[in-house]
Amino acid sequence: MPAVPRPQIPDREVSIVDFGAVGDGHTLNTTAFAAAIDSLAAQGGGRVTVPEGVWYTGPIVLKDHIELHLEQNALIVFDNDPAHYPLVETTFEGLNTLRCQSPLSARGAKDVAITGRGVIDGNGDAWRAVKRDKLTDREWKAKLASGGVLSDDGKTWYPSESYKFGATSGADQNVSTWATTREDFERMHDFLRPVMVSLHHCENVLLGGVTFQNSPCWNIHPAMCTNLTVHNITVRCPDYAQNSDGIDIESCRNVVVTSSRFDVGDDGICIKSGKDEAGRRRGIPCENILVSDCIVFHGHGGFVVGSEMSGGVRNVLVSDCIFSGTDVGLRFKSTRGRGGVVENIWIEDITMNNILQEPLLFDLFYGGKSASEAFAEGGTSAATDLEPKPVDETTPAFRNIHIKNVWCRGARRAMYFNGLPEMNVEHVTVENTHIYAATGARINESTDVVLRDVQIIPEEGPALMLNNVKNLRVENFTCPDDLPTALQVTGSRNRDVEIRSDRISAANSCLADGTAERITFVNETK
């Protein structure tokens, strides 16, 4: 991991109050923020301080050598009028597109920082659609009373007709599939929710100490940045907030994320590198990433790679993290058509509790839904023998991933490896891992996997399920003694499987026809 330089900010400081800002929670301070930043930028940069108070404002744009510093009890609340956020060229979900200007942004800037002990609030409730089943009766009545419009079936609240049009006129998740002109995009202006903090093509960036909350969409989106330091921040959104990812680090190089907390409605810490052909054409991997001493309390995934990873992800270390109440703990997701290689990943010293689905998930059949949504719709069971498709630039790959020292209490399934028949999940090591789950681990279409010193305690069913695996080694695997079936093997493409365990033998295994001769059992009783 190369050294990650922090921004160099000149020893020069102004307060937004000096430029007419009023912290009464009512006065719109957009002009004052811009004037303070412009004043320092003209002098070569410096620190813009935000003192105690509630500072209501429209979009803030940072420039070279500028630090936005929130003092104790400083609260920035962004204006919730979509008309004040014009459409701009940007990227979202790995694609080049038009979306509303972000409340806080920098583009092509060098040496920028957002620091302090205050709070930045994106006023996101005014932007986001909400499904009826996500709210209590009281919350739903309050939402209806606030204005907006309902979906035709009455099950979804939209902030405006413009939003409803965008949501129902055809989109690839949140990116329109039909709009080609600015006029097309303007028809759905309110649907094009901005990420709260957008940092594009910036160099030497620091986010430190601040709480970011209630974003219209993703909370923090650094894209194509070099030398990013994130330390001791808090990111919060309601659990019903759609697409409220904590931080999405896209095609960035040299990144350190430490001692931070995430409690959001979507993925917590997410690594991306562009989507499909656009991402492959950009060709900028996300690389040299350190994530350490972080906590994710809620979200679809704790630490996540994908699903937009067409430019590749490599050289990542994740350590000393806690995931509590997330859908998935370690979540790797992609699908056919993406392309891109995820490789050289080291993960160690991870503790988890109350994981709704899997602590470890590698899924190359990702379908655009959370793991819980996919399970509810019956979409998490792998077919036994799918036919491989041709391998080309659109085929994604997960390989060279090393995981050790993982503890999880409470999950639906202990692990799920779901590779493609034509591109297996390959070269994965899991060691010194202890998981208590409703069901055991399923490893599907995977090659060169090692499970070493792994303990899985399922409430029911086999502890380990294998389907079309090759060159798999299980060493010192432990599970309850009284399991009627400890191992289940399905599929016709299994080969070179070695099970070293005093808890698993041919006698307590259920083997598909033709697989017995491809599996070696070694009793490790000492």
Express each pLDDT in 64-80 by its tens digit: 999 999 999 999 999 99
Measuring CA to CA, which residue among 166, 135, 130 is closest to residue 148?
130
Lowest mean pLDDT among 174-188, 296-310, 434-448: 174-188
- Cα three-residue angle 135-140-145, rounded to 5 degrees: 155
d(CA 171, CA 147): 24
Q: Give the pLDDT score at 370.
A: 67
Sorted by where each begins, the domain ranges of the chain are: 13-124+194-522, 133-187
Confidence of residue 383 (pLDDT cuts 50, 70, 90): low
Q: For residue range 23-34, what is the model confidence (pLDDT) as tens digits?
A: 999 999 999 999
What is the CATH superfamily name and number for domain 13-124+194-522?
A: Single-stranded right-handed beta-helix, Pectin lyase-like (2.160.20.10)
Q: Give the pLDDT score at 375.
A: 73
d(CA 448, CA 362): 14
**What percent of the chain lies above the pLDDT cut of 70?**
97
Confidence of residue 525 (pLDDT cuts 50, 70, 90): low
Strands 53-57 and 24-28 turn out to be: parallel
Q: Give the pLDDT score at 379.
A: 64
Active site amino acids: 266, 300
Lowest mean pLDDT among 172-181, 338-347, 471-480, 488-497: 172-181
What are phi and psi for residue 332, nearest 5 degrees? Answer: -115, 125
At 453, which amino acid appears? D
At 51, which amino acid appears? P
Q: Give the pLDDT score at 384.
A: 75
Q: In this predicted model, which residue has the larger pLDDT, 503 or 369?
A: 503
Residue 129: both structure tokens together:
């659609």
Mean pLDDT confidence for 478-490: 95
SS3 content of the chain, % helix, strand, coil (to 5): 15, 45, 40
Work out the mean pLDDT of the chain and round it to a whole number: 95
Confidence of residue 523 (pLDDT cuts 50, 70, 90): confident
In whole angstroms, what separates CA 83 from the centre of its chain?
A: 29
Residue 78 is classified by DSSP as E
CA distances from 126 to 78, 141, 158 (A): 11, 15, 9
Mean pLDDT confidence for 366-395: 79
Residue 526 clears pLDDT 70, i.e. is over it: no
Mean pLDDT confidence for 451-472: 97
**What percent of the chain lies above the pLDDT cut of 90?**
91
Q: For residue range 77-129, what is the model confidence (pLDDT) as tens digits?
A: 999 999 999 999 999 999 999 999 999 999 999 999 999 999 999 999 999 99
Residue 325: both structure tokens together:
């109440």
Q: How many CB atoms lie within 10 A of CB 351?
A: 17
Q: Give the pLDDT score at 381.
A: 59
Confidence of residue 175 (pLDDT cuts 50, 70, 90): confident
Q: Give the pLDDT score at 380.
A: 60
Residue 266 clears pLDDT 70, i.e. is over it: yes
* Class of residue 70 by CB neighbours under 10 A (exposed 0-12, middle 13-18, buried 19+): buried
Mean pLDDT confidence for 398-407: 98
